[in-house]
Chains A and B, each alone.
Chain A
Amino acid sequence: MRKETLFLILLGALIYLILIVYGIKQVYTAPAIPPSKEIVITKPEDKIVIAHTEIFGSLERPQVIFDHKKHVEAIKKEGKKEWETCSVCHREKKEKLTRIKKEDEITKEKKTEERDVLVFEFPKKIVKLDKEAYKKAYHDECIGCHKEKLKEKKKAGPLTCGDCHVKEKEFVKIKYPLVEFDPKFHYDHETKLKERTGEKDCGLCHHTYDLKEKKLVYQNGTEESCYYCHDLSKKKRGPELSQIVKVTTEKRLSYQKTAHERCLSCHIKINKEMEVSKKKGEKAPPLECGKCHTGEYRTIADLEKVPRPDRGQPKTIFITQNNATAKEVYFDHSFHEKQYKTCRECHHERLKACKECHTVLGKKEGNWINAAQAMHNVFSERSCLGCHYNYVKSKKECAGCHFMIKPIDIRSLNPKETTCEKCHTGKTKPNVTSIAKLNPNQVKDIVKIDILSKEYKPVEMLHVKMINALIENSNLSKLATYFHRDEKTICLGCHHNIQKTEIDRNRAPLCRSCHLISSENPSSTKLISAYHLSCLGCHKKMNLDKGIKCEECHKESPKKPKEIVTEKNWKTIIKNTRNILQVWHPE
């Protein structure tokens, strides 16, 4: 028994030793935060992730990566044309649309027409929205088709679970770049469809949903963006639109589904017609994913020349409301149209005039936001002040001064007549000329800042050169010339927090008059930080390459030693030496 127990003890000791050594190695080398396993593919060659997490929740089996292109090629090999391949997997649906033609409130003609449209959802059969039904539908259609092909001795796809539900692909996320239907696309489609159908028919794509009759209706003059009703990601909505959105969410008509339905069904129809008519030189509309989801987007500058879709909007408007107290505001609609890619930026709810929902006292449709709030709210991207403020803060040329100037908010600063009159000009169209250059004798040419110079030599600021540069910048942009009006406003960029009237009397105060060299009150910016924050801040915001390093503004002064701290702290030095033992051990 003796040898046996000895062996047992040794074995036990060995196991424990291994456990300890392995344990400590793991503990000492384990990375504290496990690296995240998610791989995002942004260049997907027509691959789709089938996961349906909204139905299956957390997946038992890893997600399936479906290669759409391979399947289309396979079907094509069997002799089908490219535009015929879609109906193999996607079901067709009849879509009814009632067209109403109205001229000033009288319905001229009303007819309903029918179109066959392809629904781009995979399980071809309409299936109940639960795990079992979906699972069965997918398996029948995929594996069923693969089995059929095998019977016909053709090359067929995988059958076993592991081949489709691939473990490594579990964390792959495929993101298709958004297709932006910008004005150029809209204009090209308009002209091409006009040639094809002979007359301008917006009903081909646009429609609205009549809540009472629960039918799709197209009425000329009420064309709107698909995003209004079909963008299910946006939460906040006005009372009227939220009903329609409730219907779209019930029917699961997300923007992705409706866009594919609308565009691809039409493209297939045209492809079919072109097959028959065989007109030379005409480019067939694209059917592959990569052709539309290119990922390149046109900038606002490219779209400058492109005419915006005509929806009966006036070129210029004098914004006013029946019981408005303030004067009218001249608004150049066509100019502002060119500043954006979509109408939705301002017409965020429906493509109607602002005053229909934002009345002077506020309406239920406008969520009780009255006109003043809608137009002047500084922190919204859609209001006049808000948009101007964001534009001015983000644009390189303007941010130099404007990053310090607070936005004019009707609540905080008691607005004076002059500031309101800038926009509320009444029925007259304000004409504004660009600012003339500054004549040198009016303002000091070089300003010497030497009050604080200790380590560095005084700063010679080229005052006039800077002002002229700013004036040039201001003349470039229409917004700047409109609001700056004369060169005196440019001075407010640095001499901020004072009234313009003082500048008119050529009395621009020095920085020192407000900023103290040192003060107990933490909320007052010291003079040294005032200089650096405004000068350095401006140069950085306008991302100039000069004037960032210390040397560029002020040279080092040679005579004084490079002591930053005014008064040495003798007590700490004594404290160090007081440790007598320290003295005996010279480090």
Chain B
Amino acid sequence: MEGLFTYYDMFATKGVEYLIILVFLISFIFVWKYFERKAPY
């Protein structure tokens, strides 16, 4: 019933999502380094 008689914030979770994306990009550096760690084939 939300939205018609009560206020429903559609973008409430946008903040957390941006944080997650940040974390992903940072993690990508380590993942890339991880792949380069051993002598590449």
A–B contact, 8 Å CB criterion (strictly below): no
